[in-house]
Every structure is written in C-alpha cells, then in structure tokens.
Amino acid sequence: MRKLGLALALLIAFALPARAQYTNVSGTVVDPNAIPYAYANVKATLVTAGGAVTGQPTVSGTCHTADKTYPCQLPVDQTIGPINLDENGTFSVQIADNALITPASTQWQFVVSTTDTQGTDHGVVSPLGFGARTFSVTLTITGASVDVSSNLNSAALALARVVGGGVPGGQRWDQLLNPNSNLSPNFGGATFNFTNGAWSFAGMSFVLPQSAGCVASATNSFCLDTSLNEWHAWIGADATIALLPLGTYTDGDVLGIHVVAGQKTLQDLGGVNPTSGLGFLQINMTSPLDGDIPCYDSTGPPLWNNCTPGIVGNAITGATNSYLISISDNVTRLDHDAAASVSAASRVSSTSRGR
C-alpha cells in the first residue's frame, strides 16, 4: 500500500507543468500619501479587451510523465485570490503568463479592496479618512517575475483626508515636530485650503511653485517660469514681474525695462538733473511761451527752468516790408543779401506808449 501511494505521488508530480509558464507577481500598495493599504486584499481576474474570458482558457507548457516530456495545454484558473496584504500593504502570488495563455491577448485585472477576506474593512474611517476603498488596474503579466507596485500605486485612492506626507500611518503635519526627512505629499489635484491663523517661515527657506513655461492662470496664483527665470502673477490676466538685480543704486534714479533673450528685468537708467554724465531733466515750467528752451540755473533748485528768450522768431524778407511786432514775439530777424544794406525803423503806437 505504501509503494502504491508513492507511485501515485510520483505520477502526479511528473504531470505538473513547469514553473516557467507562471510569473511571480509581487507588489506593495500605498496611497498617494504613502499610507500603506495594510491588511487589504487583492484579487486577479483573467480578462480580454471585450470583458470576461469565455470558455476554459489554457496555458502552454511542458508536461512530464515517467517516461517522456511533451508540450501540453493546461487549464488556467480565471480568478486568483483574494489574497490578504500584510501590514505594509505587500503581497506575492503566482499567475499564468499572458503570453502563453490561449485565447491570445488576455490580461489580468487586479482589484484592491480595503476589506479583507474575512469581511473586515481596514480603511481610515470618516471624518479623518474615506472609509472603504476599492480600485482596479488591468495589466499584461509576462516573464519570470514582475513587481506591480508602481502600476497599482498610480491608481490607488487616498485613504486619509489629513496626512503627514509620506509618513506611514498618516500622521498630521502639526504632529511632526521634528521629522528630519523630506515630505512629499501628493494631493491628487485637490486644493489644499488653510483658514485662519498665519504661517511663519522664520529661519527657513521657502521654495515657491516653479516649472518651465508656467503661467498664472487663476486669482492669487503665481509661479516661476524656469525656462526664462521669470516670475508670473495673476492681475486679471497672466503678467510677468520684472525684478531689480542686486547692486548699488541712488535714491531717485529712473528705472527702465531691460530685455535679454526674452527675460525682462529692471535696469537703473540714471539720475534726475545730474551735473555730469547721462541722466534725465526735470524742468520747472513757469508760464511757458512758444519756443522756450530749458536752461540750467546753478543757483537752484530748481536746477532746470524754461528760459523766456526763445529761438523761434519771425523773419522779415524782401526789399521793403512792414511787420507789426507784438509783445508775444521772442525774436524778430532781418534777412538781407550780403551785398545790400538793411535798416529798420520802429514805431510805438500811442496805445502801447501809454502802457
């Protein structure tokens, strides 16, 4: 009887398929905030592009008997699991290689649920969390071994509403008194709002949003365009902020826009009313007349004023001409040929004389 049992065991062992037709699949499942899906479960189901597989799928391999080895097709279980994850959200399972399964073009759909095989849910209860969570990912599994952690984690749903950004267990930020590690929370596109109070960054450096080609697209938004090293802010529309480079400047100097390779910065263009070099004139205008010119007054301020002898006058030309000079005239010029003489006579009217 003992020999018969041993013979049957050897026969069954020789009839098993080789391991090469299966893939060792492993993974560690965490949510976007690095909180592990501890004690959740994962189930794998064989599917096609059209949905469930019809009929009995098979996997090709090599079968062995006592006297020979030959290729064969063996039935494939269409559902694997559910398998419980450990406290770190880790699991491991053997699954048939999609490249060796008939019909062709099959995939494995992985469904992760926070409810374990005993019906106990391990999600974070409300209001701190979202309660029970379930998500799925469909993958092609082939080769000797595959780690599907990144595939599952890219689709994993957040477990908690208040998190510590990469701290296992989901500690709140106000509980991280001295984390001594970089925190990288991923809010999955959600808006993180703060109300009341104030944030203090005393004694710290603070990095603002930045990316190549960024623009401000909403009220109160701003960012650094790293392609031009230029700041953008929202003022009803996207606008750039021109900055003044560090340097030594004089109070009252005039600033201008300096553009180099598309980057806009502020530039010191010089002072106002300088006594030497280039600069800008600030002219004190007093009852200006047509044709007035600016002139410098060393006894100022004001240093620059409008001077009343203008440079634009009236020309009297021709052999004989009469012209009435008015009070508003600045200069009257007599033009004549070099070979001829010129004379002028003035006549003051009685009305003007009386004044």
DSSP states along 307-349: ESS-S--EEE-SSS------TT---EEE---TTS---------
CB burial class (10 A; 0-12, 13-18, 19+) of residue 133? Answer: buried
pLDDT of residue 331: 47
Q: Which residues of the chain have pLDDT under 70?
A: 1-20, 162-190, 308-355
Enclosing H/E stretch for 135: strand 134-139
Looking only at the bridges linking them, the beta strands covering 51-52 and 283-284 are: unpaired
Q: Are 141 and 151 in contact (CB under 8 A)?
A: no
Residue 112 DSSP one-character state = E
- Taking the C-alpha atoms of residue 62 and residue 15, their distance in angstroms, rounded to an integer, is 9
Residues with Cβ within 8 Å of residue 270, at least 6 apart in sequence:
253, 254, 277, 278, 279, 280
pLDDT of residue 133: 94
Phi, psi for residue 53 in degrees, rounded to 5: -80, 130
User: Would you state the structure tokens that stand for residue 173, as one six-digit string?
Assistant: 């930020």
Q: Which domains does the chain have, with CATH numbers?
A: 2-155 (2.60.40.10), 281-337 (no CATH)
In angstroms, what CA-CA distances link 282 with 257, 278, 306? Answer: 20, 13, 11
- Taking the C-alpha atoms of residue 152 and residue 325, their distance in angstroms, rounded to an integer, is 97
pLDDT of residue 263: 86
- Taking the C-alpha atoms of residue 23 and residue 41, their distance in angstroms, rounded to an integer, is 19
- Taking the C-alpha atoms of residue 32 and residue 256, their distance in angstroms, rounded to an integer, is 47
Write the DSSP string, 16-60.
SPPGGGEEEEEEE-B-TTS-B-TT-EEEEEEEETTEEPPS--EEE
Q: Does residue 250 sit in helix, strand or coil?
A: coil
Looking only at the bridges linking them, the beta strands covering 51-52 and 41-48 are: antiparallel
Residues with Cβ within 8 Å of residue 290, at least 6 apart in sequence:
310, 312, 328, 330
pLDDT of residue 348: 53
- Taking the C-alpha atoms of residue 35 and residue 183, their distance in angstroms, rounded to an integer, is 13
